[in-house]
Each structure stands twice: as C-alpha cells, then as structure tokens.
Amino acid sequence: MTGSPLKRTLSYLGFAAVAVYCLAPFYWMAISAFRRPQDQFDNSLVPARWSWENFSAVFSGDNGFGRALLNSVIVAGTTTVLTLLIGTFTAYALARLDFRFKNAVLGLIVATTMFPGISQLVPLLKLFTDIKWINTYQAMVLPSLGFALPLSVWLLTAFFRQLPFELEQAAMVDGCTRGQAFRKIIVPLAAPGVFTTAILTFIAAWNEFLIALSMVNKKEMQTATVAISKFTGVSGFDQPFGTQMAAGVIVTVPLIAVVLVFQRRIVAGLTAGGVK
Amino acid sequence: MTTTESAPAAGTAAAGAPRGRGKSDVQGTRRLAALLLSPTLLVLALVIGYPVLAGFRESLYARGEGLDADGFVVEGDRFVGLGNYTAIFQGDRADAFWNAFSNTTFFTLTTVVLETVIGVAMALIMQQAFRGRALVRASILVPWAIPTAISGLLWRWIFQADGAANAVLRQEILWTADGFPAKAAVVIAEVWKTSPFIGLLVLAGLQMIPRDVYEAARVDGAGPVQQFFRITLPLVKPALLVAVLFRMLDVLRMFDLPAVLIGVNQKSVETLTMIAWFEASNLRYGSAAAYATILFLYIALIAYLFVKLLGADIIGEARQRTRRPRAVRPARAGRRAS
C-alpha cells in the first residue's frame, strides 16, 4: 500500500502506540524479574545489574514451583485431550449430520459458556468433598471440561462446516462406512482446526484460577497460577514481587512463544468462535 | 437461544447429506447423532446442569456450624426455604450485597465501554497495511496470552506505592489499598488485558468489508468520519456485538483479577463472584449458593436483553449467512487475506 508520507508516518505512530500499549507491562514484568532483589524497587528502564537471583528463588525449597508447573501441565493437558476427544465427535455430528433439534442442541451447548463458574463451584466443591476428591487432579479437570467443551464444540463445528462435503461422500460411495470416511477423510482434513482448538483450550485451562484455588488446599497439588499468587518468598514480611515476576515470566514465556508461532491459527480460531 | 435464526445453516447441512435414501438411513443418522452427541451432553449435564440444580437446592438449606477434627463441617442441613435469599437483602449483608452488585455492574460498564473504544481504535490502526503489521498483530496477542492471575500480580507490582505507575504519573496514589484507586486499578488492568481481544475481532470484521464500498462512498463525497459511522461501524456491528457480549459475560463473573490485584473481601472491588467465593470458603455453602444463583440470574438476564435488544447472534455460522448478505464469503476470505 502506498500513501502520503504524512499518512504513513501517522500509521507508524499508531502501530508503535499499539505495540507499546500491549508490551510495556509485560516488559516491566520481565525486566523486574532480572533485577537483583536489593534493586527490586528501582524504577529504571533497564536493570543496573542483571541477575538470575529471582529465578533461582522461584525454584527454592519452600515454593514447590516445579511441582506446581507439573500439576498445571497435567491438568491443562488432560483437559485439552479429553475436550478434543469428546468435542470432535459432537462437533462432527453438529456440522455434518442432519437431525431435528440440531440448532437447539448447539444453542444449548453454546449457552453453557455464559454460565458463571462460581455457581458450578459450590455444588461441585460439596460433591467432591463427599467423595474425597479434594486435592485430586480430577477435581480440577472435570470442572474445566465444563468450560472448555462448549467453546471447543463451537469452534470445531465452525471448522468442520468449512470442509468440503464431497470427499467424504465420494469415500462412502467407494465403499467406506461413515466411520471410515470420518477417520480417513475428515480427521486429516480437520487436523488444523483441531490443532487450533487444542491451543486455545490449553491456554484457557492453563490460565484457570478459581477452580484450582478452591478444589485444592494442599501445596503439592496447586497449579502454577495458584502457586505464584501464594508465594511467600524469602523476604517474608512483604509480597516477594521479584520472585513472583520471575515465576510469571517462566509461566508466560512458553505460552507467548506458542502464541507467536501459531499466531495465524489462533487469530483464525478466535475470530471463528469469538471466544475469550 | 438464538437458534431460530440459524435455519439457513441447517439447510446447508441438509443439502450436504445424501438425499432420497430410505427411512432406515434417517434413523441411522439420528442414532449416530445421538451417539456422537451424548458424551458432550453427559459431561455438560454433570458439571454444568447438575450444579445449577444442586446449587439452587443448596441455596434453600443452611448448615449446622459444627466442625469436626479435620476442619470439615459436620453434616446437618436444615431447610430454610428462601431464608438464604432474604438474609442477603437484610441488614449488613444487604450493604455487602448491593456493594458487590454495584461493583460488578460498575466494572462491567466501564471496562466494556473502554475496551470497545480502545479495541476499535486498535483495529482501525492495524487495518493500515504497512510493514510491521505482523509484529503489531503478534504483540496484541501478548496481553491475551498472559494468565489473568499473573496479570493481576503484574499490575499489583506496577501499582505498588513506589511502583512504576506512580513513578510515571509522578503521584503518590495508594492504588492497591482501597477506595476508588483500587477500582481504577482493576479497570485499567482488565482493559489492558482484554481490549486487544476486541481489537482482533473487530479487525477480522473490518477485513470482511469489500473495498469498493469505500470507493463508492468517496465518489459520493463522504469524508472519513462519515465513512466510519455510515459504513465501517454498521458493517462490523455483528462482529463487535458478539465480542462485546462475551466480554460482558466475562466481566460479570470476574474473580481472578481483583482477587489477586487487590485481595478478597475488600469492599472497594468485591464482585458477586468474590462474595460467593468468600462465603463458600467459609463453608457457608447455602448462602454462597444463593449469591451464585443471583449472579447466574443476573448474567442470564443481561445476556437475554443483549441478544433481544441488539440482536447479537452467538451462533457464528448463522450470523455469517444471514446478517451479511452483501459480503462475499466473508469469514474465510477475510482470514486468508490477513
């Protein structure tokens, strides 16, 4: 695109404004993580002395952060795998099969995304207490499924609808059963959409806080987001911001890397579903 | 909810299915559909449907206050009817409730308005096709990808008494203590995190608008402002409405951000979810369930009004097919071009 120099300058300024708006707080987190604990309240834009001290403090004895990361991976990973397994079948039916009440079913599933997590929490907390599920992975995975499934079904339905119908029909004419046609034709074609849904589901499950905070009271079972918010740190009397910022960097940098690599897919997924 | 409008989508699916087969095939399809749908419906019934009903039942009961040796409540439910609800609206509890209710409403209104304005501005900026656009689009995903609890900590750090915010503003505001600054801190942090999301959705909407519409408008003598209000805004309205609806529903149940940024049981930022959570964490399940039920009804009412009044359509495909007859293959064309 060409434009007058003035217009071009203005849009570069606009670009810079957007980038600064989005990145400045994150930059501040990263840069604070690299300060020495004694420089923590220094407000210079670049640390006077770079240091890894905050990062080693994150993994020091009391925090149990390694375990928390593992818990997060287990909870978010299991949620993602289960969501995709269950959601793919449902989305296929909603996008491909013709039956009565189809739109009512899709509407019902989508409507459950509006459900506030807190109303889910109280009964499930009571139920899980009764069946001794408090401090277990399933107590975090199962409620997360309730949030992840509707969005995934919705996204996958949108993706499945975009696939060409003819290939599947041709395979069925050639003697495949519907199941075979699904496995051999639809699954490979749908892989990109499924992958996009997987990323979005994983990020949502990784970011989950309310359920993980409530269903677990043992430190060894906390997920990373909960663990970081409860860091006590070495200083003791004050909130250990340096350690928390370092932990925040550790938790977000892999996510941001994934987001940047698969940027295009994620935008496609977000705009297809309009999900959070 | 809005299923009546998605009839065209059903029509397409019907056209795709093999026609003119016998009755057994229709039955087979139905059986297959039931089979494929049942796992999702089962899970949703278990973790959403059951809690709605059990939560409502729970809200009609109060528990005995006794604790056993492990700190768990001794069983002892007693039916109190609507007692938990009437208790919410009486005395001190009423103040706490209306405070949480007005905080929730305040956060919803301010953040949604601010992030819509900022998001639309971002989308308009990003629509300019210059070099560096990919970089900006990547950076816009950063706030969205940071877990809300972490961004709560991040902003708590920025809003420290001797933190970055006060250093930049050359002020000495006690942001995270209480009062209005605490509210403002929550609004700022929330708007930072979510306006890029609105920006992305609106950008996708913008890219679906054919360029010749603008050329025609220019020929007819429309200025940039007129173009924005007469063309851009009406044409991105469907995408924008869906984004706004989802943001509203999200803020109405906000918990992570104020809980981490300011803390739970803080009058200035307590939302309905937080007050319900606080009750539950103090093992007053009946009252917690009553708060949760009220919040649930509030959200349902807002969603209903929003969909009814503004015609936001939450089933995307139907939206694309019925609401944008003029755009040519909107979603996919837009996405590829991006």
Residue contact B47–A120, C-beta within 8 A: yes
Any domain includes A24: no
The interface pTM score, or ipTM, of the predicted complex is 0.88
Any domain includes A38: no
Interatomic CA distance for residues A166 and B17, integer angstroms: 10
Go through chain B and tell me how many residues it has.
Answer: 338
The token pair at B265 is 């049981």
* Domain ranges, residue A77: 64-230
The token pair at A185 is 């034709």
Q: What is the CATH number of the domain that holds A172?
A: 1.10.3720.10
Element (H, E) at A52: none
Q: Across chain B, which distance is largest between two alpha carbons, in Å?
A: 81
Buried b / exposed e along A101-136 (16+ C-beta atoms within 10 A): ebbebbbbbbbbbbbbbbbbbbbbbbebbeeebbbb
Cα B144 to Cα A125, A178, B17, B187, B195: the distances in Å are 29, 39, 39, 15, 9
Any domain includes A20: no
Any domain includes A265: no
Any domain includes A179: yes
Of B149, B243, B318, the CB nearest to A274: B243
Interatomic CA distance for residues A242 and A231, integer angstroms: 11
Query: Is B292 an 8 Å CB contact of chain A?
Result: yes
Cα B309 to Cα A117, B3, B104, B301: the distances in Å are 26, 16, 21, 12
pLDDT of residue A229: 87
> Where does residue A184 rank: exposed (0-12), middle (13-18), buried (19+ CB within 10 A)?
middle
> Where does residue A262 rank: exposed (0-12), middle (13-18), buried (19+ CB within 10 A)?
middle
What one-letter code names the amino acid at A236? G
Any domain includes A261: no
Residue contact B335–A89, C-beta within 8 A: no
Q: Could you tell me how far CA A54 lies from the centroid of its own chain?
A: 25
Q: All domains of chain B, ordered by start, with CATH?
A: 93-314 (1.10.3720.10)
Which residues in chain B are closer than 8 Å to A124, comparing Cβ atoms? Answer: 47, 51
Window 73-102 of B: residues touching A by CB (8 A cutoff) are: none
Nearest to B261 by CA among B180, B175, B142: B175
Q: Give the chain A residue whose CA is nearest to the CA of B127.
A: A11
Reported as a single tens digit per residue, the pLDDT across A80-129 is 999 999 999 899 888 888 888 888 888 888 888 888 888 888 899 889 98
pLDDT per residue, tens digit, chain A (276 aa), is: 456 788 788 888 888 898 899 999 999 999 999 988 877 777 778 888 888 888 888 887 677 889 999 999 999 999 999 999 999 989 988 888 888 888 888 888 888 888 888 888 889 988 998 999 999 999 999 999 988 999 899 889 888 888 877 887 788 888 888 778 878 887 788 888 899 899 999 999 999 999 999 999 888 899 999 988 888 655 555 678 888 899 999 999 988 888 888 888 888 888 776 544
pLDDT of residue B13: 42
Three-state DSSP class for residue B79:
strand
Query: Is B145 an 8 Å CB contact of chain A?
Result: yes
- Residue B338: pLDDT over 60: no
Strands (E), B16-76: 61-63
Residue contact A157–B30, C-beta within 8 A: no
Any domain includes A71: yes
Backbone angles phi, psi at A35, to 5 degrees: -80, 155
Task: Give the total number of structural domains in chain A.
Answer: 1
Q: Angle at Cα B31 formed by Cα B27 and Cα B34, nearest 5°?
A: 135
Can you state the angle between helices A241-261 and A5-33, rounded to 10 degrees?
130
Reported as a single tens digit per residue, the pLDDT across B197-230 is 899 888 888 888 888 888 888 888 888 888 888 8
Three-state DSSP class for residue A215:
helix
Interatomic CA distance for residues A119 and B290, integer angstroms: 9
Reported as a single tens digit per residue, the pLDDT across B134-179 is 788 888 889 999 999 999 999 999 998 888 888 888 777 788 777 8
Which residues in chain B are closer than 8 Å to A14, comparing Cβ atoms? Answer: 125, 128
The token pair at B142 is 């950063």
Of B3, B292, B316, the CB nearest to A122: B292
Window 170-189 of B: residues touching A by CB (8 A cutoff) are: none
Interatomic CA distance for residues B182 and B262, integer angstroms: 7
Any domain includes A96: yes
Contact B222, B116 (CB under 8 A): no
Of B54, B154, B256, the CB nearest to A209: B256
